[in-house]
Amino acid sequence: MGIRRNQIEKNQIGAELLTAAQRRHRWAHEEFMEEPHVYTATDDNGAPTGTTGNVNICDTGQYRFEYVILGAGQTIVRPVLATDGGYDWGMDQTATEGCEINFASLKQGHPRMFKIGTDPSFYARFRFTMEDASGYDLFFGFRKNQAYQTAVETYTDFALIRVLGDSSSAAAAVTTVTNLNDATDSTVTTTASTVADAADTELEVRVIGRRAMFLFNGAQIGQTTFDFDLTDWVIPVAFLLHTTDVGGQFKSLGFECNDLKGRPAGLLSQA
C-alpha cells in the first residue's frame, strides 16, 4: 500500500513513524471509496452468506475485514458502495439484525491485533453517518480476541463507545461501555454527547498502557479508569444492530488504527 501525500504532509505523519508501522502492516487507513469485493470466509470465490453467525470477508482493495451476521439471518448480506461514497452496512434494515465488523482477525499473528502490556500505546477510530440515528445500536472500540458472539455483553473484556437510538428520541445517546472478565454485564458511563440524523461522526478509542481512553469527535468522554488485563489480545470492532425504529442507511466513511505515536493530527474528516 502506498502512502498518500496528504497522510504525510497535511496530517503531519513523519516518514520515520509510518515506515515501521507499514513494514508490520499495522497502519491501516481506509475511506471506503471503491466497490468492495465480498465473499464467504470459507471460500474466496464463494458468495457471502446470511445465516446467523456466518463469517464473510469485505475486501476494500487495500484491506480485508471480517464481518459476522447478527440477528435472525439476512437476505441482503453485503455492504455496498453508496452513491455519494462510503459503504452502506444497513443490509436488510430489519429490527435486531445487523453485523459485527472485525477490522483485524481472530488470529493473534494479525498485524491489527494488539497485545496489552507488550505493544506500545495504540488507537482505532471510525467515521460514519446514520440515516436515522434513532434506528441504530452501534458499539465501536476494542474487545478481547474471542470467538464471535451474538451480543456484545457476552464478550468478557471490552472498551467500547456506544451510540444507541430509540424511537422516543430524534438523537442517539452516546455512552462508554466497559467490561472486565465478566460475560454477563457491563459498566455504562453516560455522556452529554448525542448523534443526529446524517451527522458526520467520529468515534475513537485509545489504549495507553492498559488504560482505555474514549473520544467523540476528538473530545474525551466517558469512563476514565478502565484498564485491560495485561497480556490480553484485543481487536478493533464495530458491532451494529437496527433498533425497532430501523435506521436506514449506515455508511462507514473512514477507519484507521495504528500505534498511537503514529496517529495523524485532527479528525478523519479533515484528512
Tell me the pLDDT of the chain (271 aa) as tens digits: 444 444 444 455 555 555 555 656 789 999 999 999 999 999 988 999 999 999 999 999 999 999 999 999 999 999 999 999 999 999 999 999 999 999 999 999 999 999 999 999 999 999 999 999 999 999 999 999 999 999 999 999 999 999 999 877 789 999 999 999 998 889 999 999 999 999 999 999 999 999 999 999 999 999 999 999 999 999 999 999 999 999 999 999 999 999 999 999 999 998 7
> d(Cα 245, Cα 25) in Å, to the nearest integer?
39
Distance CA 172, CA 140 (A): 14
Alpha-carbon distance of 120 to 258, in angstroms, equals 10
Burial of 82 (C-beta count, 10 Å sphere; 0-12/13-18/19+)? middle
Q: What nine digits make up the cell of 220?
A: 474525551
pLDDT of amino acid 271: 72
**Domain 79-262, architecture per CATH:** Sandwich (2.60)
Provide the whole-model pTM.
Answer: 0.91
Which residues have a Cβ under 8 Å from the Cβ of 2 and sit 6 or more positions away?
A: none
State residue 236's pLDDT score.
98
**130 SS3 class:** strand
Domain ranges of the chain: 79-262
List the grid coordinates of 80. 455496498
Segments in the chain forming alpha helices (H): 5-8, 15-23
